Amino acid sequence: MRTIHTRKALGAAVALSLGTLLAGCGGIAQNTQLESVHQPVVSRTNYTLDVTTNPGGLSLPEARRLAGWFEAMDLRYGDRISIDDPLSSGATRAAVEAVAGRFGLLVGDTAPVTPGMVNAGTARIVVTRTSAQVPGCPDWSAKSDANFKNATSTNYGCASNANLAAMVADPEHLLKGASGPSRTVVMSGDKAIDSYRSAKPTGENGLKSNNTQSGK
């Protein structure tokens, strides 16, 4: 009886050791590259408001309601405004652009697909807001000191990518860089640098002679 009991205890000890070993393998870092597995994820959310239209565009009460909605949405740089108008009325677009211009934003040409139909005599104003975040961070899942693959930490890149996602003014730029006016800014900066480099040294023509004696 004692021998059987000892064998059972030994088998339990071996099973426990193997379980501990396998659990430890699950916490070993596996990423052998310098590219972080935690990357910013960009997501878009559409907010809609249906406004009543007329041949002249928007009535004064509807324009005020739209302005109040924009204010409640706290419109900011990076938000995109579009119009889903079955009639494609130029007057309606002009009225919406006038309200959006107060918040420093332009109206896009194409509206995204939104649930529900746009009823006759109405237009749907769509505000598309983009956000960026790094899911799964911080990640301290690898708690084992064994690193036979010389892999990076599971938390590698979390701080840098999370800060980038939080600080970028327009998360869309993480998908596609800005174009247009930024090129002009770069050209202006290059022009200033070229002007500085091409300027003649101040002492090229010799030093100016100055007389410090009074009366001369």
Residue 199: CB atoms within 10 A of its CB come to 8
Domains of the chain, residue spans: 44-130
* CA atoms within a 13 Å half-sphere pointing along the CA-CB vector of 65: 12
Report how far residue 49's alpha carbon sits from residue 62's, in angstroms, rounded to the nearest whole number: 11
Burial class (CB in 10 A: 0-12, 13-18, 19+), 196: exposed
Identify the pLDDT of residue 14.
36
First to last CA, the chain: 123
Per residue in 72-122, pLDDT (tens digit) is 999 999 999 999 999 999 999 999 999 999 999 999 999 999 999 999 899
Identify the pLDDT of residue 202.
73
The mean per-residue pLDDT over the stretch 24-53 comes to 88
Per residue in 123-179, pLDDT (tens digit) is 999 999 999 999 999 999 887 778 888 899 999 999 999 999 999 999 999 998 877
Global pTM reads: 0.65
